[in-house]
Chains A and B, each alone.
Chain A
């Protein structure tokens, strides 16, 4: 399923802030997010994007139109319950488990986490997936960080 017409590669508030403060970064991060959806099945990456948003309690990121490939609404709603939900297949589970470890403690990624991915993907695909995950995670941390730091100053008195 293609992304919605109103989907943007970057969170709109992040894009606007980068355009003001660091337009050169806005340009390269946009290119990066145009590339990352080629790394793996975009529906799997979209599930990972949603899981990162739920882990970061980033409701805006969770609610915005899917920049990659939309997933069924019932699946998106069940993203935090993926270990117990029958909606997710083994391939998606391996990616979501890896995502949780990556976001929570990247240095703690174990060989078992990697082997779980290798059961479904080639080494090259695993490398591309981890690179895509890095970009998705950084995007959300940057958007959330700038929102937290700058939003109070931007509010009208």
Chain B
């Protein structure tokens, strides 16, 4: 099943510069580093990720 949410922030009328350009990249780098940790095997890591997603009702 595919769940599509409506856009909840209005589209800008014209292209705008990001407010905090480094923030999105920093969040991405953090998540990448967490996923690459080797203390937990990849399957268990994925199970934890899926459990977190379900807990937060995140279906994207």
The chain A residues found within 8 Å of chain B, CB to CB, are: 21-22, 24-25, 27-29, 31-32, 34-36, 38-40, 106-107, 111, 114, 118, 122-128, 131-132, 134-135
DSSP class of A's interface residues: helix, strand, loop or mixed? helix
Instruction: Determine if B29 and A32 form an interchain contact, defined as CB atoms under 8 angstroms apart.
Output: yes
Q: Count residues of chain B with CB under 8 A from any CB of chain A.
A: 25
Residue among A106, A118, A128 making CB contact with B19, cutoff 8 Å: A128
Contact A134 B27 (CB under 8 A): yes
Within 8 A of A (CB), among B1-19: 8-12, 16, 18-19
Q: Judging by beta carbons under 8 Å apart, are B12 and A106 in contact? A: no
Report if B26 contacts A (CB, 8 A): yes
Q: Does B47 contact A (CB under 8 A)?
A: no
Grouping DSSP codes into helix (H, G, I), strand (E, B) and loop, the B interface class, with mixed when no group exceeds half, is loop
Residues of A within 8 A of B56 (CB): 106-107
In the complex the two chains form, is A124's CB within 8 Å of B18's CB?
yes
Residue of B nearest to A39 (CB): B20
A32 touches B19 (CB 8 A): no
Q: For the complex, what is the distance from the CA of A107 to the CA of B8, rounded to whole Å?
A: 13
Q: Please tell me which one of the listed residues B19, B20, B30 contacts residue A29 in the complex, with CB atoms under 8 A apart.
A: B30
- Residue contact B30 to A32, C-beta cutoff 8 Å: yes
Given contacts A25-B33, A31-B29, A107-B56, is CB(A128)–CB(B23) below 8 Å? yes
CA distance A32 to B33 in the complex (A): 12
Q: How many angstroms between the C-alpha atoms of A34 and B27 in the bound complex?
A: 11
Across the interface, which residues of A come within 8 angstroms of B43, CB to CB?
Answer: none
